[in-house]
Copies of this chain bind each other. A is one copy, B any other.
Amino acid sequence: MPDKLNDVVAELALANRILGNEGVLDAFGHVSARHPGDPGRYLLPRARSPGLVEPADILEFTLDSEPVKPPKVHMYAERVIHGCIYQARPDVMAICHHHAPAIMPFAIAGKPIVPVFHLGAAGGEDMPFWDQHDEFGATNLLVVKQEEGHSLARALGNHPAVLMNRHGATVVGGNIKELVSRSIFMCQNAVYQLQALMLGTPDRLHHGEVELAGAISRMPNVVTRTWEYWSARVGMPAARGAKKTARTAPRARSKAKKRR
């Protein structure tokens, strides 16, 4: 079990760095994973920019978003996003909250992101919107109260992602790698949708295509390929070999660098 936990912690740290490096996250945003051995707990870094996160930064929380051990470091103010969604969605094993430039125009204009290319189907067909002001009036738009987190989780429903007006988006996944690819493909989809609109009318995927193409990012072949690519771009070996790498760290790492 501790081995399994170590693997998830390493993969989560790498997911943070990948999403930081691929332009989904910057100084802000956060990525969590459900505890592999206890569905009533989740793992989330201390309050640090995702691109800088290391395994040692990752803390353990109850689903009420209380730290299991009182930490001496700052915690993300918005961690209820994670706790409330893990409570509402037993199928969700990883969550990312972000303000990616790609999706902000949609979150600000209140226009839905719809799947316009095969990989974009990972974001689902009818992405819901949530406006904190509707239920809570004027706030600083941070999701910090339990009732705000629960409201967001309700808006998410069974969807893979929810847009948050004048704020950003929250994306979920059945595992860390699905979350990472969904977050990246959803951003690409948003960029293409906006630019296609400048040419004419974007041609969205047919209903049946969304379901079938939505599964591409779960194909083992694709997962291996994308994870190696994104890992290489942050200068890290792909997580699959992370444990092995740890034992032979210097050589494995220098190889990863050369490979770029």
Contacts and interface: CB of A to CB of B under 8 A. Distances in A.
A70 to B, nearest CB: 16
A117 B110 contact: no
Given A101-B188, A197-B198, A203-B110, A209 B27 contact: no
Given A27-B230, A117-B166, A200 B259 contact: no
Contacts of A118: 140-142, 166-167
Given A166-B116, A167-B117, A203-B110, A27 B225 contact: yes
A52 B195 contact: no
Interface string A184-221: 00001001111111111111111111001101100101
B196 A105 contact: yes
A204 B212 CA distance: 37
B196 A104 contact: yes
Interface in A120-158: 133, 137-142
Contact of A133 (B54, B109, B209, B219): B209
Contacts of A80: none
B226 A140 contact: no
A77 interface: yes
A48 interface: yes
A240 interface: no
A119 B140 CA distance: 9
Contact of A229 (B49, B74, B191, B228): B49
A166 B203 contact: yes
18 contacts: A26-B229, A28-B119, A48-B228, A52-B259, A74-B225, A99-B119, A101-B192, A108-B196, A108-B202, A109-B203, A111-B200, A116-B166, A117-B167, A117-B168, A118-B166, A118-B167, A138-B208, A139-B212
Interface of A: 26-28, 47-49, 51-52, 54, 74, 77, 99, 101, 104-111, 116-119, 133, 137-142, 165-168, 188, 191-209, 212-213, 215-216, 219, 221, 224-226, 228-230, 232, 259-260
